Amino acid sequence: MKAVIFDWGGVFQRTVDPKPRRQLEQLLGLPPGGVERAVFQSPDWEKACKGERTAEEIWGHIVSSLGYSLGTVDFVRRFFAGDRIDETLVELVWDLRDKGYRVGLLSNAPPPLDEAGRAGRWGCQDLFDVQVFSYQVGVLKPHPRMYETVLQALRVAPREALFIDDAPENVRGAQAVGMRALHFTDPQSLLRVLRTWLLSE
């Protein structure tokens, strides 16, 4: 094994405090879960993730459809205000890199809305050796091209890479191209497996 490849949303970045989104729903008169559906099930969300819409276009459409009057940047900041980056996994990546593994990020995220600051960005600067996003490739996981692109960027063969994702279909997609893959459920379970597979080497 020469490389470890991680998904981002649902693995590194997770919503740990639901209150900011519930407050948005109350403000907009939406039912519980309504603001997530308005964002992630927006007709243009998948197009943005494939690079067919800009961040400004997709967020502008969402904000307009909801009638949110405080602007796109304010909405994005509030929408992601309850999200946190898992520092345990950040430390894990640095540990893997110190041990000589190449570490990649493979995400279906749309382009970042830079004006929103950290809330509008996906990924961590300098954390990964390689970052590959679906909006750069033009397809979404579990399309084989996503896995092939990150493997090529890391300069490793499928059998030399481990992929970690919270979506079972993406795990199966990685396995279909010959990678070893793990379904992420929580950081401690992942650490236990990796200590056995990699970190004890």
For the chain, give every domain's residue range. 3-14+84-199, 16-79
pLDDT of the residue at 116: 64
pLDDT of the residue at 124: 77
**Angstrom distance (rounded) from CA 56 to CA 59:** 6
Class for domain 3-14+84-199, per CATH? alpha beta
Q: Which phi and psi (to 5°) does residue 150 adopt?
A: -70, -35
The SS3 assignment for 14 reads strand
- pTM confidence score: 0.93
Record the tokens describing residue 157, joined without a space.
Answer: 């063969």
Is 119's pLDDT higher than 60? no
Q: What is the pLDDT of residues 127-160, one digit of tens each?
A: 999 999 999 999 999 999 999 999 999 999 999 9
Residue 142 preceded by cis peptide, ω within 30: yes
pLDDT of the residue at 43: 86
The contacts of residue 110 (CB under 8 Å, 6+ apart) are 45, 48, 49, 53, 55, 58, 135
